[in-house]
Amino acid sequence: MLIASWNVNSVKARLQNLLTWLEEAKPDIVALQELKCVDEAFPRSEIEALGYNIETFGQKTYNGVALLSRYRLEDIIRGIPGFDDEHSRYIEAVVSTSSGALRVASLYLPNGNPVDSPKYPYKLAWMAAFEKHAEILMQNEEAFVLAGDYNAIPSPQDVHAPDAWEGDALYRPETREAFRRLVNLGLTEAVGTLTTTGPDTYTFWDYQGGAWPKNKGIRIDHHLLSPLAADKLVNVRIDKHTRDWEKPSDHVPVLIELDMA
């Protein structure tokens, strides 16, 4: 089973790229972020024509997350339970496979910049609420995958110029510590577990300053897996070639493969 995560940076603006990639990569489940449209404006028919079930949690102009799945999506949760949030940043569902149920989520964690504004406390509060929810999921002893744009750079190896990012909300010590607390619940960070992270594993390049051709990137798109899901992890892949396409997203798809046999 291929499970992908992609911040498309406007699903309507990148629709052709998304459709091309879906036909090329043939993922089984896709977590999308930054839809930038309400549910009614999501290009449902074009994606359903490729064989996907769809659940969205949209928002006009900003944010928005979705799950695409070749399996039926059930037990839908929109928003982190118990967390009062006016933004559409989290959606969760359960799929049933021949080897059992798998819970999947798509999340778009707040950026948090500038750090001297209310945006950074909001980011940390969101991460704390997400950690609490993930802890509850762990207590249920389920197989689950929490995939998305975490807006968190885990380590110096995951950024092209660590010194230049000191003080940025994505790399502040508080952000990295919050991300470590998530992992320390017993979760497995897929790419960092199966590969040596560094310049070859960046997932985001800014549109400015020639970041993409100079590979001045960062790694902020992650899959966190419960122990039962991590036991099935066999491969990871980053589809960096999509960054070369016309009108690309500033993120690229990140895929994991689970052996569900």
pLDDT given at position 99:
83
Q: Is 149 annotated as a binding residue?
A: yes
Q: Identify the CATH number of the domain in which residue 41 sits.
A: 3.60.10.10
Order the strands of the 144-149 sheet from edge to edge: 74-78, 90-97, 100-108, 144-149, 221-225, 188-189
* Number of Cβ within a 10 Å radius of residue 45: 8
Given a contact cutoff of 8 angstroms between Cβ atoms, the answer to whether 8 and 43 are in contact is no
Q: What pLDDT does residue 19 have?
A: 98
Q: What is the pLDDT of residues 114-124, one digit of tens each?
A: 999 999 999 99
Q: Does 7 count as an annotated binding residue?
A: yes
* 250 annotated ligand binder: yes
Q: Is 28 annotated among the ligand-binding residues?
A: no
Classify burial at 245, counting beta carbons within 10 Å of its beta carbon; exposed 0-12, middle 13-18, buried 19 or more: middle
Tell me the whole-structure pTM to 2 decimals.
0.98
Is the torsion defined by CA of 246, 254, 7, 119 positive or negative?
A: negative
The residues assigned a catalytic role are: 108, 149, 251
To the question of whether residue 34 is assigned a binding role by annotation, the answer is yes
Tell me what the mean pLDDT of segment 51-65 comes to: 98
Q: Smallest Cα–Cα separation from 69: which of 16, 32, 24?
A: 32
Return the beta strands (E) in the chain as ranges: 2-7, 29-33, 53-57, 65-69, 74-78, 90-97, 100-108, 144-149, 188-189, 221-225, 233-238, 254-258
- Say yes or no to pLDDT of 43 above 90: yes
**Which ranges constitute the DSSP H helices of the chain?**
15-25, 44-48, 119-139, 162-165, 173-183, 190-194, 227-230
Q: With a cut of 90, say whether residue 218 has pLDDT above it.
A: yes
Strand pairing category for 221-225 and 188-189: antiparallel
Indicate if the pLDDT at residue 25 is higher than 90: yes
Residue 162: give the domain boundaries: 2-258
The reply to whether 151 sits in an annotated binding site is: yes
Query: Residue 69: CB partners within 8 Å, gap ≥ 6?
Result: 28, 29, 30, 52, 53, 54, 93, 95, 104
Tokens, residue 250: 């500033």
Report the chain's mean pLDDT, rounded to a whole number: 98
Domain count, the chain: 1
Alpha helices in 184-253 (DSSP H): 190-194, 227-230
Tell me the percentage of the chain whose pLDDT exceeds 70. Answer: 100
Alpha carbons 232 and 2: distance in angstroms, whole number? 11
What whole-number distance in Å separates Cα of residue 18 and Cα of residue 79? 24
